[in-house]
A and B are shown apart, each in its own frame.
Chain A
Amino acid sequence: MSLPLAREDGIIQKINGQFSNNIKQTRIIRRSRPEITVGPEKIREVATFLRNELGFDHANGVSGVDYNREGRFEIVYHISSMDKKDLRDLVLALKESTPRTAPKVPSLVSVWPGVENFERETFEMFGILFEGHPHLEKLFLTDNWDGPPPLRKDIRFPTD
Protein backbone atom coordinates (compact mmCIF):
# COMPACT_ATOMS: atom_id res chain seq x y z
CA MET A 1 0.00 0.00 0.00
CA SER A 2 2.89 2.41 0.60
CA LEU A 3 4.60 2.17 -2.77
CA PRO A 4 1.71 3.42 -4.93
CA LEU A 5 1.12 6.28 -2.45
CA ALA A 6 4.73 7.45 -2.38
CA ARG A 7 3.90 10.74 -4.07
CA GLU A 8 1.15 11.62 -1.62
CA ASP A 9 3.32 10.55 1.33
CA GLY A 10 6.13 12.73 0.05
CA ILE A 11 3.92 15.80 -0.12
CA ILE A 12 2.54 15.28 3.36
CA GLN A 13 6.01 14.77 4.77
CA LYS A 14 7.23 18.03 3.26
CA ILE A 15 4.27 19.91 4.73
CA ASN A 16 4.75 18.29 8.12
CA GLY A 17 8.44 19.07 7.97
CA GLN A 18 7.75 22.77 7.50
CA PHE A 19 4.80 23.22 9.87
CA SER A 20 5.30 20.39 12.33
CA ASN A 21 3.05 21.49 15.18
CA ASN A 22 0.42 23.30 13.25
CA ILE A 23 -0.99 20.55 11.08
CA LYS A 24 -3.92 19.11 12.96
CA GLN A 25 -4.56 16.03 10.86
CA THR A 26 -3.48 14.41 7.63
CA ARG A 27 -5.12 11.60 5.72
CA ILE A 28 -4.83 9.91 2.35
CA ILE A 29 -8.29 8.93 1.16
CA ARG A 30 -7.00 7.10 -1.88
CA ARG A 31 -4.39 7.62 -4.60
CA SER A 32 -4.38 11.29 -5.74
CA ARG A 33 -6.57 12.46 -2.85
CA PRO A 34 -4.49 13.57 0.15
CA GLU A 35 -6.02 15.78 2.78
CA ILE A 36 -4.60 18.07 5.48
CA THR A 37 -6.40 19.98 8.22
CA VAL A 38 -4.98 23.18 9.68
CA GLY A 39 -6.25 25.89 11.95
CA PRO A 40 -7.57 29.12 10.44
CA GLU A 41 -4.74 31.18 11.93
CA LYS A 42 -2.08 29.24 10.01
CA ILE A 43 -3.87 28.61 6.76
CA ARG A 44 -2.45 31.56 4.86
CA GLU A 45 1.12 30.49 5.59
CA VAL A 46 0.41 26.90 4.65
CA ALA A 47 -1.30 28.02 1.45
CA THR A 48 1.62 30.26 0.46
CA PHE A 49 4.03 27.38 1.10
CA LEU A 50 1.91 25.04 -1.00
CA ARG A 51 1.84 27.50 -3.86
CA ASN A 52 5.46 28.60 -3.84
CA GLU A 53 7.34 25.46 -2.79
CA LEU A 54 5.17 22.57 -3.90
CA GLY A 55 3.72 24.09 -7.07
CA PHE A 56 -0.04 24.04 -6.35
CA ASP A 57 -0.89 26.95 -8.58
CA HIS A 58 -4.68 27.04 -8.62
CA ALA A 59 -7.74 26.10 -6.64
CA ASN A 60 -10.39 23.83 -8.12
CA GLY A 61 -13.01 25.02 -5.68
CA VAL A 62 -13.95 26.02 -2.18
CA SER A 63 -16.69 24.16 -0.32
CA GLY A 64 -18.36 24.95 2.95
CA VAL A 65 -19.78 22.06 4.97
CA ASP A 66 -22.08 22.45 7.94
CA TYR A 67 -21.34 19.89 10.65
CA ASN A 68 -24.09 21.13 12.90
CA ARG A 69 -23.96 18.12 15.22
CA GLU A 70 -20.33 19.01 16.00
CA GLY A 71 -21.02 22.74 16.15
CA ARG A 72 -18.62 23.79 13.41
CA PHE A 73 -18.36 24.80 9.81
CA GLU A 74 -15.64 23.23 7.72
CA ILE A 75 -14.16 25.04 4.72
CA VAL A 76 -12.39 22.82 2.20
CA TYR A 77 -10.08 24.20 -0.49
CA HIS A 78 -9.42 21.69 -3.25
CA ILE A 79 -6.15 22.65 -4.87
CA SER A 80 -4.21 21.21 -7.74
CA SER A 81 -1.38 21.96 -10.12
CA MET A 82 -1.24 22.64 -13.83
CA ASP A 83 2.40 23.49 -14.43
CA LYS A 84 3.72 20.35 -12.74
CA LYS A 85 2.68 17.54 -15.03
CA ASP A 86 3.10 14.75 -12.49
CA LEU A 87 0.74 16.49 -10.06
CA ARG A 88 -2.07 17.14 -12.53
CA ASP A 89 -4.31 14.37 -11.29
CA LEU A 90 -3.69 15.08 -7.61
CA VAL A 91 -6.29 17.09 -5.69
CA LEU A 92 -5.19 18.17 -2.22
CA ALA A 93 -8.01 18.99 0.19
CA LEU A 94 -6.96 21.79 2.53
CA LYS A 95 -9.44 21.91 5.38
CA GLU A 96 -10.07 24.29 8.22
CA SER A 97 -12.81 24.49 10.83
CA THR A 98 -14.46 27.42 12.48
CA PRO A 99 -17.12 27.49 15.21
CA ARG A 100 -20.70 27.73 14.07
CA THR A 101 -21.64 30.64 16.29
CA ALA A 102 -19.05 33.16 15.05
CA PRO A 103 -17.60 31.86 11.79
CA LYS A 104 -14.63 33.90 10.60
CA VAL A 105 -11.60 32.78 8.59
CA PRO A 106 -8.88 34.54 6.61
CA SER A 107 -9.43 34.85 2.88
CA LEU A 108 -6.99 33.19 0.49
CA VAL A 109 -7.62 35.51 -2.45
CA SER A 110 -4.08 36.90 -2.14
CA VAL A 111 -2.67 33.39 -2.60
CA TRP A 112 -4.98 32.01 -5.32
CA PRO A 113 -6.96 34.79 -7.06
CA GLY A 114 -9.41 32.25 -8.49
CA VAL A 115 -11.09 31.59 -5.13
CA GLU A 116 -12.73 35.01 -5.04
CA ASN A 117 -16.11 33.92 -6.39
CA PHE A 118 -16.10 30.67 -4.44
CA GLU A 119 -15.50 32.45 -1.15
CA ARG A 120 -18.29 34.91 -1.95
CA GLU A 121 -20.65 32.03 -2.52
CA THR A 122 -19.61 30.30 0.71
CA PHE A 123 -20.23 33.57 2.55
CA GLU A 124 -23.74 33.94 1.22
CA MET A 125 -24.70 30.29 1.58
CA PHE A 126 -23.34 29.71 5.10
CA GLY A 127 -22.67 33.12 6.60
CA ILE A 128 -18.91 32.57 6.99
CA LEU A 129 -16.90 35.81 6.97
CA PHE A 130 -13.68 35.80 4.97
CA GLU A 131 -11.36 38.48 6.29
CA GLY A 132 -9.38 40.31 3.66
CA HIS A 133 -11.68 39.46 0.79
CA PRO A 134 -11.92 42.41 -1.68
CA HIS A 135 -15.69 42.25 -2.36
CA LEU A 136 -17.45 40.21 0.28
CA GLU A 137 -21.04 40.55 -0.88
CA LYS A 138 -23.78 38.35 -2.27
CA LEU A 139 -23.13 36.64 -5.57
CA PHE A 140 -26.17 34.59 -6.57
CA LEU A 141 -28.78 35.46 -4.00
CA THR A 142 -29.09 39.21 -4.56
CA ASP A 143 -32.79 39.23 -5.46
CA ASN A 144 -33.45 35.55 -4.93
CA TRP A 145 -33.51 35.01 -1.20
CA ASP A 146 -33.62 37.39 1.73
CA GLY A 147 -33.55 35.07 4.67
CA PRO A 148 -30.76 33.39 6.61
CA PRO A 149 -27.99 31.59 4.72
CA PRO A 150 -29.84 28.78 2.97
CA LEU A 151 -27.35 25.93 2.98
CA ARG A 152 -27.19 25.72 6.77
CA LYS A 153 -28.66 22.52 8.13
CA ASP A 154 -31.19 24.29 10.35
CA ILE A 155 -32.91 25.93 7.37
CA ARG A 156 -35.60 23.47 6.40
CA PHE A 157 -37.88 23.48 3.38
CA PRO A 158 -41.43 22.13 2.91
CA THR A 159 -40.58 18.73 1.43
CA ASP A 160 -38.00 17.98 4.11
Chain B
Amino acid sequence: MSAQKPAQQDEDPLEMLAGGISVWVGKLNEIVRRVVDDTPIRNIINWGRIYSMWPVNITTACCSAEFGAASGARHDLERFGVLPLGSLRQSDLIVVEGTITKKMAKRLRMIYDQMAVPRYVIAMGDCAISGGLFHDSYSIVNGAHEFLPVDVYVPGCPPRPEALEQAIIMLQEKIRHSKVYSQG
Protein backbone atom coordinates (compact mmCIF):
# COMPACT_ATOMS: atom_id res chain seq x y z
CA MET B 1 0.00 0.00 0.00
CA SER B 2 2.67 2.51 0.86
CA ALA B 3 5.17 2.81 -1.97
CA GLN B 4 8.86 2.90 -1.16
CA LYS B 5 10.19 5.96 -2.95
CA PRO B 6 13.78 5.61 -4.19
CA ALA B 7 16.17 8.15 -2.73
CA GLN B 8 17.15 9.81 -6.01
CA GLN B 9 13.53 10.74 -7.02
CA ASP B 10 12.52 14.40 -6.57
CA GLU B 11 10.15 15.09 -3.68
CA ASP B 12 7.04 16.14 -5.70
CA PRO B 13 4.41 17.37 -3.17
CA LEU B 14 1.54 16.10 -5.38
CA GLU B 15 3.02 12.65 -5.51
CA MET B 16 3.51 12.62 -1.75
CA LEU B 17 -0.14 13.59 -1.36
CA ALA B 18 -1.26 10.86 -3.76
CA GLY B 19 0.86 8.33 -1.92
CA GLY B 20 -0.62 9.40 1.38
CA ILE B 21 -4.17 9.20 0.06
CA SER B 22 -3.60 5.71 -1.35
CA VAL B 23 -2.34 4.54 2.05
CA TRP B 24 -5.40 6.08 3.68
CA VAL B 25 -7.80 4.50 1.16
CA GLY B 26 -6.12 1.13 1.57
CA LYS B 27 -6.53 1.29 5.33
CA LEU B 28 -10.15 2.37 4.89
CA ASN B 29 -10.70 -0.64 2.60
CA GLU B 30 -9.43 -2.91 5.36
CA ILE B 31 -11.72 -1.28 7.91
CA VAL B 32 -14.79 -1.58 5.64
CA ARG B 33 -14.09 -5.24 4.96
CA ARG B 34 -13.73 -5.98 8.63
CA VAL B 35 -16.87 -4.06 9.53
CA VAL B 36 -18.99 -5.60 6.83
CA ASP B 37 -17.91 -9.17 7.34
CA ASP B 38 -18.20 -9.36 11.08
CA THR B 39 -21.49 -7.56 11.64
CA PRO B 40 -25.11 -7.86 10.58
CA ILE B 41 -24.35 -5.71 7.52
CA ARG B 42 -23.05 -8.93 5.98
CA ASN B 43 -26.49 -10.49 6.30
CA ILE B 44 -28.12 -7.59 4.50
CA ILE B 45 -25.65 -7.68 1.63
CA ASN B 46 -25.94 -11.45 1.30
CA TRP B 47 -29.74 -11.20 1.43
CA GLY B 48 -29.60 -8.87 -1.54
CA ARG B 49 -27.35 -11.25 -3.46
CA ILE B 50 -29.37 -14.36 -2.71
CA TYR B 51 -32.74 -13.18 -3.88
CA SER B 52 -31.67 -11.73 -7.19
CA MET B 53 -29.28 -14.18 -8.82
CA TRP B 54 -29.41 -13.55 -12.54
CA PRO B 55 -28.02 -16.26 -14.80
CA VAL B 56 -26.22 -15.62 -18.05
CA ASN B 57 -28.07 -16.17 -21.32
CA ILE B 58 -26.04 -19.15 -22.41
CA THR B 59 -27.19 -22.67 -23.05
CA THR B 60 -24.63 -25.40 -23.27
CA ALA B 61 -26.42 -28.59 -24.38
CA CYS B 62 -29.54 -30.66 -23.88
CA CYS B 63 -30.07 -29.93 -20.17
CA SER B 64 -31.20 -26.53 -21.35
CA ALA B 65 -34.58 -28.14 -22.05
CA GLU B 66 -35.04 -28.80 -18.35
CA PHE B 67 -33.69 -25.36 -17.46
CA GLY B 68 -36.31 -23.90 -19.78
CA ALA B 69 -38.98 -26.08 -18.20
CA ALA B 70 -37.81 -24.98 -14.77
CA SER B 71 -38.18 -21.32 -15.74
CA GLY B 72 -41.64 -22.03 -17.08
CA ALA B 73 -45.07 -22.06 -15.58
CA ARG B 74 -45.21 -25.02 -13.23
CA HIS B 75 -41.73 -24.88 -11.69
CA ASP B 76 -41.18 -21.17 -11.67
CA LEU B 77 -37.60 -20.14 -11.03
CA GLU B 78 -38.53 -16.48 -10.94
CA ARG B 79 -39.89 -16.90 -7.43
CA PHE B 80 -36.28 -17.51 -6.35
CA GLY B 81 -35.18 -14.34 -8.09
CA VAL B 82 -33.58 -16.18 -11.02
CA LEU B 83 -34.30 -14.24 -14.20
CA PRO B 84 -32.18 -14.36 -17.35
CA LEU B 85 -32.19 -10.63 -17.86
CA GLY B 86 -29.43 -8.21 -18.54
CA SER B 87 -26.04 -8.52 -20.08
CA LEU B 88 -22.97 -10.42 -18.95
CA ARG B 89 -21.78 -7.75 -16.57
CA GLN B 90 -25.11 -7.72 -14.75
CA SER B 91 -25.28 -11.49 -14.23
CA ASP B 92 -24.15 -13.42 -11.19
CA LEU B 93 -24.64 -17.01 -12.12
CA ILE B 94 -23.57 -19.37 -14.88
CA VAL B 95 -25.58 -22.55 -15.11
CA VAL B 96 -23.46 -24.95 -17.13
CA GLU B 97 -26.24 -27.07 -18.57
CA GLY B 98 -25.12 -30.37 -19.98
CA THR B 99 -22.21 -31.53 -22.09
CA ILE B 100 -19.36 -29.09 -22.55
CA THR B 101 -17.55 -29.38 -25.87
CA LYS B 102 -14.08 -27.98 -26.22
CA LYS B 103 -15.43 -25.28 -28.49
CA MET B 104 -18.00 -24.18 -25.93
CA ALA B 105 -15.55 -24.51 -23.01
CA LYS B 106 -13.38 -21.78 -24.50
CA ARG B 107 -16.37 -19.43 -24.69
CA LEU B 108 -17.62 -20.35 -21.22
CA ARG B 109 -14.28 -19.42 -19.74
CA MET B 110 -14.31 -16.11 -21.64
CA ILE B 111 -17.79 -15.41 -20.29
CA TYR B 112 -16.80 -16.30 -16.73
CA ASP B 113 -13.82 -13.98 -16.93
CA GLN B 114 -16.00 -11.11 -18.08
CA MET B 115 -18.59 -11.43 -15.36
CA ALA B 116 -18.38 -9.08 -12.40
CA VAL B 117 -17.59 -10.45 -8.96
CA PRO B 118 -19.37 -12.13 -7.11
CA ARG B 119 -20.11 -14.88 -9.60
CA TYR B 120 -21.26 -18.42 -9.00
CA VAL B 121 -21.32 -21.59 -11.09
CA ILE B 122 -23.85 -24.40 -11.03
CA ALA B 123 -22.84 -27.55 -12.89
CA MET B 124 -26.14 -29.03 -14.06
CA GLY B 125 -26.37 -32.55 -15.32
CA ASP B 126 -24.08 -35.57 -15.32
CA CYS B 127 -22.18 -34.31 -18.33
CA ALA B 128 -21.13 -31.13 -16.53
CA ILE B 129 -19.98 -33.14 -13.51
CA SER B 130 -17.88 -35.83 -15.17
CA GLY B 131 -18.63 -36.10 -18.86
CA GLY B 132 -21.68 -38.28 -18.20
CA LEU B 133 -23.07 -40.32 -21.06
CA PHE B 134 -20.54 -38.97 -23.56
CA HIS B 135 -17.43 -39.36 -21.45
CA ASP B 136 -15.51 -41.17 -24.18
CA SER B 137 -16.18 -38.67 -26.92
CA TYR B 138 -13.31 -36.98 -28.69
CA SER B 139 -14.63 -33.46 -28.51
CA ILE B 140 -15.82 -32.92 -24.96
CA VAL B 141 -14.37 -31.77 -21.67
CA ASN B 142 -15.07 -34.19 -18.85
CA GLY B 143 -16.67 -31.87 -16.38
CA ALA B 144 -17.05 -28.15 -15.71
CA HIS B 145 -14.60 -28.27 -12.80
CA GLU B 146 -11.76 -28.62 -15.31
CA PHE B 147 -11.90 -24.95 -16.11
CA LEU B 148 -14.42 -23.26 -13.81
CA PRO B 149 -14.74 -23.19 -10.00
CA VAL B 150 -18.05 -24.95 -9.44
CA ASP B 151 -20.24 -24.13 -6.44
CA VAL B 152 -23.08 -26.64 -6.73
CA TYR B 153 -23.29 -29.91 -8.67
CA VAL B 154 -26.72 -31.16 -9.77
CA PRO B 155 -26.71 -34.82 -10.84
CA GLY B 156 -29.25 -36.23 -13.24
CA CYS B 157 -29.60 -36.86 -16.92
CA PRO B 158 -31.34 -34.43 -17.20
CA PRO B 159 -32.02 -33.32 -13.61
CA ARG B 160 -35.65 -32.72 -12.85
CA PRO B 161 -36.64 -29.07 -12.45
CA GLU B 162 -37.18 -29.77 -8.76
CA ALA B 163 -33.53 -30.80 -8.51
CA LEU B 164 -32.51 -27.53 -10.11
CA GLU B 165 -34.64 -25.64 -7.61
CA GLN B 166 -32.95 -27.50 -4.78
CA ALA B 167 -29.59 -26.53 -6.25
CA ILE B 168 -30.57 -22.87 -6.25
CA ILE B 169 -31.66 -23.16 -2.62
CA MET B 170 -28.37 -24.85 -1.70
CA LEU B 171 -26.46 -22.09 -3.43
CA GLN B 172 -28.49 -19.54 -1.51
CA GLU B 173 -27.59 -21.29 1.76
CA LYS B 174 -23.95 -21.30 0.77
CA ILE B 175 -23.99 -17.57 0.02
CA ARG B 176 -25.88 -16.78 3.19
CA HIS B 177 -23.09 -18.26 5.28
CA SER B 178 -20.15 -16.92 3.34
CA LYS B 179 -18.17 -13.75 3.65
CA VAL B 180 -19.04 -10.79 1.51
CA TYR B 181 -15.57 -10.41 0.01
CA SER B 182 -14.80 -14.08 -0.38
CA GLN B 183 -14.32 -13.65 -4.11
CA GLY B 184 -12.42 -10.35 -4.02
A interface residues (Cβ-Cβ under 8 A, vs B): 141-145, 147, 150, 155, 157-159
CB nearest neighbor in A for B137: A157
A94 to B63, CA, bound (A): 38
Give the chain B neighbours of A155 by CB distance below 8 A. Answer: 138
Binding site for A on B (CB under 8 A): 101-103, 106, 136-139
13 contacts between A and B (CB under 8 A): A143-B102, A143-B103, A143-B106, A144-B102, A144-B103, A144-B138, A144-B139, A145-B138, A150-B138, A150-B139, A155-B138, A157-B137, A158-B136
- Residue pair A142, B103 in contact (C-beta under 8 Å): yes
A-B pair number, CB within 8 angstroms: 22
Q: Is B138 a contact of A157 with CB atoms below 8 Å?
A: yes
Q: Which residue of A lies closest to B136 (CB)?
A: A159
Question: Chain A at the B interface: mostly helix, strand, loop or mixed?
Answer: loop
CA distance A52 to B136 in the complex (A): 45
User: Chain B nearest CB: distance from A14 CB in Å?
Assistant: 43
A150: nearest residue on chain B (CB-CB)?
B138
Cα distance, A145 to B137, chains bound together (Å): 11
Q: Shortest beta-carbon distance, A158 to chain B, in Å?
A: 6
Given contacts A147-B138, A157-B137, 6 further A-B contacts (CB under 8 A): A142-B103, A143-B102, A144-B102, A145-B138, A155-B138, A158-B136
Closest to A141 in B: B139
Complex: A140 Cα to B137 Cα, angstroms: 14
